[in-house]
Structure 1
Amino acid sequence: ERLPCHKSSVCSRSYFVLVMVFFHVYILNVIALLFYVHYSNGQEDADRVRDALRSQHQHQHQHQHQHRRPESGSPPSKPEFPRHVPLSRVEGIRVGHVQRVPLVPGRVHEMRTLSLKPLLFIPGFLSEEECRVVMQLAQLKGLMESQLMVQHGQEELAKEINLSPEEIFNLLDINQDGQLQLHEQILTHSRVRDGIWLTPENLREIYTGLKADKDGNLLSLEEFRVLSNDAFQRFLIKRGVKRSQLVRNSRHTWLYQGKGAHQVLQDIKAVTRLTRLPATLVDLSEPLQVVRYEEGGHYHGHHDSGPVYPETACTHTRIAVNGSTPFETSCYVTVLFYLNSVEGGGETAFPVADNRTYDEVSLIQNGTDLLDTRRNCNKSNLRVKPTKGKAVFWYNYLSDGRWVGEQDEYALHGGCVVTRGIKWVANKWINIDPDYERQVRFQQLVSQHAEDEDNEGLTLNSDMQSP
């Protein structure tokens, strides 16, 4: 018999509910599966980096033993390169975004994005005790002047770069009008002169003293010739150079952080967790630089690392390349620690942070030089106030998706003049060669050298213990 109408409706409704339940369970399973795949891939990436580094170490170890004990009649093996290890890179998401990161056991730090160009972060990092120990260790070792005036003239400089005065003038004449405007003159003498930062007023004073610039504004080729000899340098030496006229007015020292170093210095190497880079790369970078800026101290605008050129090798990997190759500093990441809170001034300024475009000429407009941190820090797009224990870090290079990419020009920065008190900072530069294979060769050579030293030490100890 046919079921009554109301019973049939109940059955249909129950069937519909049952179908919808199964459908939602299916959707939830799909979402869960997607999450599982996503995080599994993230873990696999981390495992892949770890496996590659382990593989690299094994390759180095095998190569060293083959080098020491070659089999009879077999040719020396060629160094093997591990598969390409992608460089980890912290994502900024957006300005103001906060990430919680476990940097040291038992403590979670908050890392805030300050800008995207350059990719700049700020976390709290060092304790008050750690700051005190680093400053005391630096004082114990002794600090030296950070900037010294190099005593050579324009003639020697012209010989080094192998260009005639006419060729130099033509290159500096940006708009090719046959004359150097004031901003072109500033780029000429404020950037080329080693160690000295000259303001427009300084230039006018020197031009007047040398009777070079007759109209007081534009510089012709004939007038430029007067400045293209040692007269310029001799005038500076005779006139005297004040500390405030140096590009960098500070004192500094270097503190080793490896095995045998003070425990606080070794603990600060937790920077590896901050940057998420392999510890191998951080360990082979420069020591910790500690800098003291007294009242009036400053550091004019600069980049921590230069552009990438195929013919240029990195300073830290010089042992892995031809000695005649020109060298450039290559700091992939800069980590800046503030060791004390400054009473007045001393901010770290980023003049063009998050600008829409970057143009070197536009840095000097209408008599305002954005690179001049003694005068124009307040015109920078971003300033970070020094506070004890705080750290800021940024990338000096972009990423090509696998390794080091082009220079990030927006990473231009400087230290504003200290108006009151003393400023203590520490710099940790993580050096990575943009050429992947060159970086690996460098690591292999360092590893081999370290193992040779260990073996020599073992042999020496066994000899000392012999009758």
Structure 2
Amino acid sequence: MNCQTMQGFLYIFACINVYIAVCNANGKVTGEGEGFCQKTSDGVTCVNHDDLRLTRIDGMQVGNVRTINADGKKLQMKTLNIKPLVFEIEDFLSDDECDHFIETAKQIGLESSHTENQSPKQGLQLMDVNSDKALSLSEMKLTIENGYDIYLDEEDIIQMYKDLKLDSNNDNLITQAEMTISPKQLKTYLSEFVKKHPEKHSRYSRQAWLYPDKSTDTIFRAVQSRVSQVVDLPMDLIRLSDFQVVTYGVKGHYNAHLDSSHIIKDVRCCDRGLYSKCRICRYMTVLFYLNEVKSGGETAFPFANKESIDENKAHIDGVHHLYKNCENATLRVPPKKGKAVIWYNHFIDDDTNWMGEVDEYTLHGGCPVTEGEKWIANFWIKTNNDKSIDLKKMKNLYSK
């Protein structure tokens, strides 16, 4: 080989190495345990951190299927929907992995699920939609849904008026003068009501939490690696995320909700209970079905492919009330053991290449189980809208 040929070969080799370095800087993970940051003799180094950006897979069109080699498995990622962008991968988890997560959750201990505030709220907001200074049955229903996350039927509200002696003239309209109880008294009444009728709460299930950065479970680690490769994000971000195992019995459900919050200036992202006034920040959701459900239990997206969204009208029309109106949702994904359903709760900000605004069309929930039981796991990949905060957390993973 002459000098000119050798120089050409070295040039090509150098270009290939640069290409590989750039790919790694953009979050492509090539094997279990690889992350964006690494522990070195000089401390913790995050290579080319200015190039790190969030990924968003192109769904192409509904029905499109791409093959992904991850963890030695060939996975078929199918585009289920574009608005919002939703993917499905059957057999993402093996039967043994599904069973392992169910048993792990049982060992940890499952507790009744509760809903978390998506953003700080101040007091009870009376939903006087038509501004007539009185609440109709539908407006009271909306007030209770927004304030207490409880879904009452009109007959429930009429009974509440009788129990609390609110509607003195029995016209099913509550004026300011007739609203003689405090929000605290209303909350107490509703708390007692849902103890007798738990299906009226927006969420009726039990749950347990697993944390990737604290776990030494080898099966959990392997699944994290597979997720990292499929969504094309570094293990560091995956390890900073939360994994929730949930079980639903008959009537178990979760009414329509967003998994993440709108960006609110000067309100920080929640960090596992570290902050009291905070917002939920989950860039994307990977939902796993862990068992075969005899009947019911679909994951529904009631805003999918709608031209526009009117939240108040949707509440009044019962769109969020999946316990009763699941069949009306425009996209429903049936459960199947081992299946993963993937969607992006946020868009990517064009300026920062990091987490942007919420995609409101990702409003979703769990349809009621009508026979048997349902087990799922929510893997929430969490980021802040400020990349520097996530970089600091990624570095801290290696400094412990």
Q: Sort the TM-score into its range (normalised by shorter chain).
A: 0.7 to 0.9
For each residue in 1:76-126, what CA deviation from the matched residue of structure 2 results, as whole angstroms up to 9, or x when unmatched?
xxx999425211111111122111111221x32111111112211000201
Q: Which of 247, 250, 275 is matched with 1:295 structurally?
A: 250
Instruction: Letter of the 2:236 partner, please give it.
Output: T
Instruction: Letter of the 1:49 partner, please give it.
Output: N
Going from structure 1 to structure 2, the CA distance change for 1:438 and 1:318 (only over 3 Å counts) comes to farther
- What's the offset of the Cα at 1:280? 0.9
- What's the offset of the Cα at 1:221? 2.2
Match of 2:381 in 1: 430
Match of 2:111 in 1: 144
2:307 is paired with a residue whose SS is: coil
Going from structure 1 to structure 2, the CA distance change for 1:346 and 1:41 (only over 3 Å counts) comes to farther
Match of 1:420 in 2: 371
Whether 1:117 and 2:68 are equivalent positions in the alignment is no
Structure 2 distance, partners of 1:230, 1:85, is 47
Q: TM-score, normalised by structure 2?
A: 0.83
Going from structure 1 to structure 2, the CA distance change for 1:431 and 1:210 (only over 3 Å counts) comes to same
Report the structure, 1 or 2, having the larger helix content: 1
- What's the offset of the Cα at 1:358? 1.5
Match of 2:142 in 1: 187
Going from structure 1 to structure 2, the CA distance change for 1:302 and 1:41 (only over 3 Å counts) comes to farther
For each residue in 1:99-158, what CA deviation from the matched residue of structure 2 results, as whole angstroms up to 9, or x when unmatched?
1111221x3211111111221100020111211222122222221111399xxxxxxxxx
Residue pair 2:37, 2:44 contacting (<8 A) in 1 also: no
Instruction: Letter of the 2:295 partner, please give it.
Output: G
Runs of at least 5 residues in structure 1 that lack an aligned partner in the other structure: 1-38, 66-78, 150-159, 451-467
Going from structure 1 to structure 2, the CA distance change for 1:41 and 1:341 (only over 3 Å counts) comes to farther
1:406 is paired with a residue whose SS is: strand
Instruction: Letter of the 1:210 partner, please give it.
Output: L
Match of 2:6 in 1: none
How much identity, in percent, do the aligned residues show?
A: 33
Could you say which structure has the larger radius of gyration? 1
Q: TM-score, normalised by structure 1?
A: 0.71
1:244 is paired with a residue whose SS is: helix
- What's the offset of the Cα at 1:54? 8.0
Q: Which of 332, 337, 342 is matched with 1:388 structurally?
A: 337
1:226 is paired with a residue whose SS is: coil
Name the structure, 1 or 2, with higher relative contact order (CA <8 Å, separation 6+). Answer: 2
Residue pair 1:316, 1:431 contacting (<8 A) in 2 also: no
Structure 1 distance, partners of 2:26, 2:63, is 29
Match of 1:46 in 2: 23
Going from structure 1 to structure 2, the CA distance change for 1:45 and 1:255 (only over 3 Å counts) comes to same
Structure 2 distance, partners of 1:47, 1:272, is 12
Structure 2 distance, partners of 1:47, 1:446, is 18
Q: Which of 279, 291, 311 is matched with 2:235 structurally?
A: 279
Match of 2:67 in 1: 100
Whether 1:133 and 2:133 are equivalent positions in the alignment is no
Match of 2:8 in 1: none
The alignment's C-alpha RMSD in Å is 3.4
1:375 is paired with a residue whose SS is: helix
Going from structure 1 to structure 2, the CA distance change for 1:298 and 1:42 (only over 3 Å counts) comes to farther
2:174 is paired with a residue whose SS is: coil
1:442 is paired with a residue whose SS is: helix
Structure 2 distance, partners of 1:294, 1:55, is 40
Instruction: Letter of the 1:221 partner, please give it.
Output: Q
Instruction: Letter of the 2:387 partner, please give it.
Output: Y
Going from structure 1 to structure 2, the CA distance change for 1:407 and 1:336 (only over 3 Å counts) comes to same
For each residue in 1:392-450, what CA deviation from the matched residue of structure 2 results, as whole angstroms up to 9, or x when unmatched?
011110112311110111111111110000101111111100111222233334443x1
Structure 2 distance, partners of 1:345, 1:131, is 19
Q: Which of 293, 307, 311 is matched with 2:262 structurally?
A: 307
Going from structure 1 to structure 2, the CA distance change for 1:176 and 1:85 (only over 3 Å counts) comes to same
Structure 2 distance, partners of 1:45, 1:317, is 33
Instruction: Letter of the 2:186 partner, please give it.
Output: F
Residue pair 2:27, 2:52 contacting (<8 A) in 1 also: no
Whether 1:326 and 2:277 are equivalent positions in the alignment is yes
Q: Which of 142, 160, 182 is matched with 1:228 structurally?
A: 182
Going from structure 1 to structure 2, the CA distance change for 1:271 and 1:219 (only over 3 Å counts) comes to same
Match of 1:12 in 2: none
Match of 1:155 in 2: none
- What's the offset of the Cα at 1:257? 3.9
1:86 is paired with a residue whose SS is: coil
- What's the offset of the Cα at 1:363? 0.9
Matches within 5 A, 1:332-371: 332-365=283-316, 368-371=317-320
Going from structure 1 to structure 2, the CA distance change for 1:184 and 1:41 (only over 3 Å counts) comes to farther
Structure 2 distance, partners of 1:136, 1:330, is 28
Runs of at least 5 residues in structure 2 that lack an aligned partner in the other structure: 1-15, 29-33
For each residue in 1:212-265, what CA deviation from the matched residue of structure 2 results, as whole angstroms up to 9, or x when unmatched?
234444332223x32434432343456553221222111111234457633222
Matched pairs, number: 373
Structure 2 distance, partners of 1:162, 1:337, is 35
Q: Which of 208, 216, 219 is matched with 1:253 structurally?
A: 208
Match of 2:131 in 1: 176
Residue pair 1:317, 1:442 contacting (<8 A) in 2 also: no
Structure 1 distance, partners of 2:48, 2:259, is 29
